[in-house]
Amino acid sequence: MSEPKTSHAPDTPLPTAGLIRRLSALVYDSFLLFGITLAYAGLVLALRVWISGAEAADIPYSGLPRLIFVIGLWFFPALFYSWCWRRSGQTLGMKTWRIKLLRTDGLPPTWSQCWLRSVLAPLSLAAFGIGYLWCLIGEKHCLHDLWTGTHVLVLPKPPK
């Protein structure tokens, strides 16, 4: 059986993903992240009501429970991204926009690289987008790409 033909030669390096493609994939993923965050918050609220009664739903979080809740708001979306990146190098949004995360040596990212990206990428976006805007300079790498030893590549179109 012959291999399927692709639109590029196997020895040709894949181009680095630009800002628009990255942000478009992020918009797609934001819908999934909204669902993950909503499910987490609903589960926390249900556990709180089950443990403390219905009146607990009206009492704001404070102290350690608030800190744990806020950490969970980061942890579960980060787990989603890390799991997808380790499994296939792509989230659903990245698959749609044909981009893939790899280490600079071409292998899948390690768990530590995935978790570090999950910390640095939101900070890159929160700092007035400077970490993402960095990819408009030079070789199209965002700051969190450079800091984690990874890059996001554009995959070729699949054959028809």
User: What average pLDDT score do residues 95-121 get?
Assistant: 96
Cα 84 from chain centroid?
8
Does 13 score more than 80 pLDDT?
yes
For the entire predicted model, the pTM comes to 0.84
pLDDT band at 10 (very low <50, low <70, confident <90, very high): low
Q: Which two tokens stand for residue 28?
A: 């797609």
User: What average pLDDT score do residues 15-37 get?
Assistant: 96
pLDDT given at position 92: 97
Which secondary structure element, helix H or strand E, spans residue 146, and what is its range? helix 143-148
Q: Which two tokens stand for residue 141?
A: 């790498």
Of 54 and 149, the structure prediction assigns the larger pLDDT to 149
